[in-house]
């Protein structure tokens, strides 16, 4: 099974971190795959790190993905338990990670992920709001890219750049990278823009790659991280919890399963062709 998901969008505030951490918590609850999950925070800003470690005003973690990527510590030594969820561990971020954005780290994250993958059912990678080295490394290390975007027409044209980056990485460094889908988030009840936004997204990515579920604005989604809790732990009955829960159960897991099946078939066909050649 390939269960490494990079949550990407080079625009800030599109719901990457929110989706990454609630996806992780949802997968530990609703997925059949072993329930443990690792979150890797590749954003030097460290929002996922503060929420999962419960250090909302505190010091950045002493050991982080920065030390792992510069090979000062092993990946295993960088991993920390979270107060967020007993089944979720984190490889936290530290502001020093920013310095890595200027270094060629190629496939270092991929190697880190490779050495941790067997210990977890899922690995979710949160990324910074740019198309730089850290986001690229996440896409090189991932099996799937997941793109949360705001429900606004203005957000769509810039996403062509993200599509191009994904294609470039598929061609050069990670042939098995696939787009899992685009998730529309933070829809405001007052703006009836949903249809044109969905249509435009469909034109860029293909209609089948835009999830039907739309995560609306919900105050509980914003409040939960301040309590270091997932939306399900904070208020399992609220709209935000049911939207994320339904998306994971009815769309995310099914799409993942479908793409996995396709991947296996493609790999088998490639091997068969190779055998024939040889």
Ligand X SMILES: Nc1ncnc2c1ncn2[C@@H]1O[C@H](COP(=O)(O)OP(=O)(O)O)[C@@H](O)[C@H]1O
Please choose which of Mg ion, ligand X, none residue 171 contacts, taking the beta carbon within 5 to 8 angstroms, the exact cut-off set by kind. Answer: none
Q: Which is nearer to ligand X, 47 or 135 (CB)?
A: 47
- Burial tier of 169 (Cβ tally within 10 Å: 0-12, 13-18, 19+): buried
* Helical ranges in the chain per DSSP H: 16-30, 47-53, 65-69, 75-78, 97-100, 108-116, 133-141, 155-172, 194-205, 219-226, 231-235, 239-246, 253-277
The pair of structure tokens assigned to 85 is 């969820």
- Residue of the chain from 129, 193, 204, 213 that contacts ligand X (CB under 6 A): 129
Interaction mask 14-53, Mg ion, x per CB under 5 A? --xx-----------------------------x------
**Count of positions on this chain that bind ligand X (CB under 6 A):** 16
The pair of structure tokens assigned to 58 is 């505190």
Residue 247: CB minimum distance to ligand X, A: 11
Distance CA 21, CA 24 (A): 5
Largest CA distance in the chain: 62
Residue 217 makes contact with ligand X by CB under 6 A: yes
- Residue of the chain from 23, 79, 177, 215 that contacts ligand X (CB under 6 A): 215
Residue 221 makes contact with ligand X by CB under 6 A: yes
Nearest Cα to Cα of residue 42 among 89, 14, 8: 8
Q: Which is nearer to ligand X, 117 or 156 (CB)?
A: 156
Q: Which residues bind Mg ion (CB under 5 A)?
A: 16-17, 47
Q: Which residues bind ligand X (CB under 6 A)?
A: 12-18, 47, 129, 185-186, 215, 217-218, 221-222
């Amino acid at each position: 099974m390939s269960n490494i998901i990079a949550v990407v969008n080079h625009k800030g505030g599109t719901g990457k971190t929110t989706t990454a951490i609630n996806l992780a918590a949802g997968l530990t609850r609703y997925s059949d795959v072993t329930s443990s999950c690792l979150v890797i925070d590749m954003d030097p800003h460290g929002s996922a790190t503060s929420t999962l470690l419960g250090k909302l005003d505190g010091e950045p973690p002493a050991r982080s993905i920065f030390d792992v990527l510069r090979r000062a510590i092993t990946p295993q030594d960088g991993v920390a338990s979270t107060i967020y969820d007993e089944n979720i561990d984190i490889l936290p971020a530290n502001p020093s990670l920013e310095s890595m954005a200027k270094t060629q780290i190629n496939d270092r994250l991929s190697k880190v992920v490779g050495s941790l993958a067997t210990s977890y059912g899922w690995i979710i990678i949160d990324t910074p709001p740019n198309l730089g080295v850290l986001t690229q490394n996440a896409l090189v290390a991932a099996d799937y890219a997941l793109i949360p975007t705001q429900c606004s027409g203005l957000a769509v044209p810039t996403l062509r750049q993200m599509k191009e980056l994904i294609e470039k990485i598929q061609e050069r460094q990670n042939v098995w990278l696939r787009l899992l889908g685009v998730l529309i988030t933070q829809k405001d009840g007052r703006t009836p823009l949903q249809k044109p936004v969905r249509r435009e997204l469909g034109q860029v990515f293909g209609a089948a790659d835009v999830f039907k579920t739309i995560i609306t604005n919900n105050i509980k989604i914003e409040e939960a991280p301040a309590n270091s809790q997932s939306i399900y732990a904070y208020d399992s009955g609220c709209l935000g919890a049911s939207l994320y829960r339904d998306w994971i159960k009815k769309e995310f897991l099914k799409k993942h399963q479908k793409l996995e099946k396709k991947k296996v078939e493609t790999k088998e066909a490639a091997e068969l062709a190779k055998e024939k050649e040889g």
